[in-house]
Structure 1
């Protein structure tokens, strides 16, 4: 049988073309198929598979196990896709844009949690909360949406706002009772 091969360059196979991906026609389950092999320049076979990616993957494993990379070995260095000067620069000082709808809900709630009146910040962590949950038929109209701190929104779950406020009133101890 004939053996066709081409050199492999870069990555864990080295830059010198020492390894090659070879293909060999064969029969598998009574059908014509191709077997992929990764071989070195001396003719030694590192891996064999009926799938090219599996052959390459197992050859990389064999090479990595045979000689672990040294700390400063440039052969094992992951090359960058773009030069550093072409990457976008993140600007932590620039505030993240807040949507108009979120600003409106924050303004209607006067910057406080609708349920516990905890002060909120516009760019802070707070939830847009459905007073009548979608699970109970509530919609996304402005009249159904309020600002809520994460604790209240998660505690409310799928209850209506009235049910949640009533439960809060029952849970709080009355004056003189502790």
Structure 2
């Protein structure tokens, strides 16, 4: 069981185990916003519902904004595992402006690509190949990118994750 932790301003912060969430609630550092239907947890001092979403009682400042690192897995996920050139299933990533020509490892210069298109394109740009990109590569946004563990989100989390998007 996992629990979504919200900052005092209802901004999603993290996903923690329900045990960690329960400790935060018992120590009065958080309050339960939503519970999981099921069996309660019994202790010597009573019973507790399993928290699905908790809200911190004090605001936690997140330093310097949240930077989303560029990864192969992230590029494939952003593009829906579809090739940016032909639309088939992608298994690799491609530098739009090749690295040999000064292309950076950035969200704007990387696109998901199938093996065939990647091999045919080689060390050229899409303009030289007379190809068009099916999408404009941009950095991903939203809580599902900045909060770890929300890829497999619980359905009851969706209202809180949508607020942050």
Report the TM-score, using the length of structure 2 for normalisation.
0.35
Higher helix content, 1 or 2: 1
**Whose radius of gyration is greater, 1 or 2?**
1
Provide the TM-score with structure 1 as the length reference: 0.32
Choose between structure 1 and 2 for higher RCO, CA contacts under 8 A separated by at least 6 residues: 2
